[in-house]
Amino acid sequence: MKFFVDTADTAEIADLAATGLLDGVTTNPTLIAKAGKDFIEVTREICGLVDGPVSAEVVALDHATMMREAEVLRKIADNVCIKVPLTIDGLKTCKALTSDGTQVNVTLCFSANQALLAAKAGATFISPFVGRHDDNGFDGMDLIRDIRLIYDNYAFETQILVASVRHGVHVLESARIGADVMTAPPAVIKGLFKHVLTDKGIEGFLADWAKTGQNIV
Ligand code: E4P
């Protein structure tokens, strides 16, 4: 399963990219606002930090303007992936862009039928929002299971990008189900490295090592 980080904070992205475990980045208008930098500039900066896809979202609601915005965004770098909302105009834009070889991430997916439509529109990625789905009384991971089943039934190549990931259980379940990608905030990804017994084990080993009076270097 690929790991994308869901942020426009370049320091956090650089930090995670240095682990060698980062496969891409997702942003959205809220995350861009939070970063407080120029959209085009910060997107260019992010594209230089990772080799994988960097999702940059259009903000227009009509197909013609989405296409114009996508034109600007895709010129930023070769690894820009255009993010469009799951609407009729969004999927028209998805179809046009992917037919032209541009990567597209279809966002704000909350049903398996929506995911089916996105795959038929040739989406590179579909982003079901599991955390927000949970918040509204549904089981976000059931949605991922349904999409996996449907995509496998018809051998769709659209990659399932689990989004709105809030904790490690979302990550674990995504991997169990066979999602292609998950995107999570930096804190959630960093939390995956942690285990209380790892910390306790290091503490014990270091205490015993000190008794030997030796150094490795
Ligand atoms: C995905 O691409 C979105 O940017 C993101 O995962 C939304 O997550 P949120 O529900 O935490 O805002």
**Which residue minimizes the CA distance to atom 7 of ligand 1?**
164
Give the closest residue (by CA) to ligand 1 atom 5: 164
Amino acid identity at 74: R
**Which ligand 1 atom minimizes the distance to the CA of 55?**
2
Question: Could you read off the pLDDT of 46-82 as tens digits, one per residue?
Answer: 999 999 999 999 999 999 999 999 999 999 999 999 9
The pairing of strands 181-184 and 159-162 is parallel
Q: Which residues of the chain have a pLDDT value below 50?
A: none
For the chain, domain boundaries: 2-212
Instruction: Please identify, by atom number, the ligand 1 atom nearest to the C-alpha of residue 83.
Output: 2
Q: Quick one: which atom of ligand 1 is closest to the CA of 105?
A: 2
C-alpha to C-alpha distance for 54 and 56, rounded to whole angstroms: 6
pLDDT score at 136: 97
Q: Is 29 in the pocket of ligand 1 (CB under 6 A)?
A: no
Alpha helices in 87-139 (DSSP H): 88-99, 112-120, 130-135
Residue 126 beta carbon below 6 angstroms from any ligand 1 atom: no
Q: Which residue's C-alpha comes closest to atom 6 of ligand 1? A: 164
Token readout for 112 is 């398996």
Ligand 1 pocket, residue 7 CB under 6 Å: no
Beta carbons within 10 angstroms of residue 194's beta carbon: 9
Outline where DSSP puts E strands in the chain.
2-6, 24-26, 54-57, 80-85, 104-109, 125-128, 159-162, 181-184
Residue 19 has a pLDDT of 96
Rg of the Cα atoms in the chain: 19
pLDDT tens digit string along 132-146?
Answer: 999 999 999 999 999
63 is written with which tokens? 């197909």
- The two three-digit tokens of residue 64, written as one number: 């013609």
Q: Are 39 and 83 in contact (CB under 8 A)?
A: no
* Residue the block writes with tokens 């609601």: 61
Active site (catalytic) residues: 83
Question: What distance in Å separates the CA atoms of residue 57 and residue 40, rounded to the nearest whole number?
Answer: 11
Name the residue at shortest CA distance from atom 11 of ligand 1.
164
Contact assessment for residue 182 and residue 170, using Cβ atoms and an 8 Å cutoff: yes
Ligand 1 atom nearest the C-alpha of 31 is 4
Is 131 close to ligand 1, i.e. is its CB under 6 Å away?
A: yes
Structurally, what CATH architecture does the domain formed by 2-212 represent?
Answer: Alpha-Beta Barrel (3.20)
CB of 183 within 6 A of ligand 1: the answer is yes
Q: What are the tens digits of pLDDT across the range 180-192?
A: 999 999 999 999 9
Ligand 1, atom 1, lies closest to the CA of 163
Distance 164 CA to ligand 1 centre (A): 4
